[in-house]
Amino acid sequence: MKLYNYFRSSASFRVRIALELKGLPYEYVPVHLVKGEHRQPHYSAISATQLVPTLVTPSQERLGQSMAIIEYLDEVYPQPALLPTDALARAQVRALAQLVACEIHPLNNLRVLKYLVKELGVDDDAKNTWYRHWVRTGMEAFEAELAQLPPSTFCYGDTPTLADCCLVPQIFNGQRFGCDFSGLPRTMAAFEACMQLPAFQKAQPSSCPDNEP
């Protein structure tokens, strides 16, 4: 398998975590978003959307969208499972994951932040305030959702799930922007539990071959 991705991309980070949790070998192919490599012809030929990540399967099929990629991996390589077997539990895990992937991340990804600055003339302080506001609002909602679930080591249960694959990259990027994660005990406990595992450590941006200061 090949994974076209960017080391700081939350969506790419999610897929790297899933691959590491499942112990699946893959070729890391960097696509530098800040340098605009995702818009170059060589990558456009791989991803029609010009987004990362893109997973190229052993049969040379190309898959985009991190959530779809992770669920594909979970179906084709079912152990360890990233979704529970019970239908209700699967829905609860997906809801947590989508709270990050569909509610928080789209407001704060790189192309949105660049649009705020370049097209709307927002300065860096206002841009960072925007980012921190939406991350904090989303994380408070995430914490409230966790509070409705039984106590657990990770977001749901005692093994990492799709929800943890989404949570950890969001916390990482939020820390870069100085987001306030205080008063979120269940959320941060799950994050800390994840970061004790080698899979999460190997997948983090600082471990990527294209990592830059």
Q: For 70-85, what is the HEC assignment?
A: HHHHHHHCCCCCCCCC
- Looking at the structure, do residues 94 and 35 belong to the same domain, yes or no? no
Contact 181, 187 (CB under 8 A): yes
User: Which structure tokens are listed for 70?
Assistant: 């992770």
CATH number where 49 lies:
3.40.30.10
pTM of the model: 0.95
Q: Domain span at residue 70? A: 2-80
pLDDT by residue (tens digit) across 67-115? 999 999 999 999 999 999 999 999 999 999 999 999 999 999 989 999 9
Q: Residue 211 — pLDDT band, cuts 50, 70, 90?
A: confident
- Domain membership of residue 205 (yes or no) is no
Q: Region 176-187: what's the mean pLDDT?
A: 97
Q: Residue 213 — pLDDT band, cuts 50, 70, 90?
A: low
Q: Quick check: 149 pLDDT over 90?
A: yes
- Domain membership of residue 209 (yes or no) is no
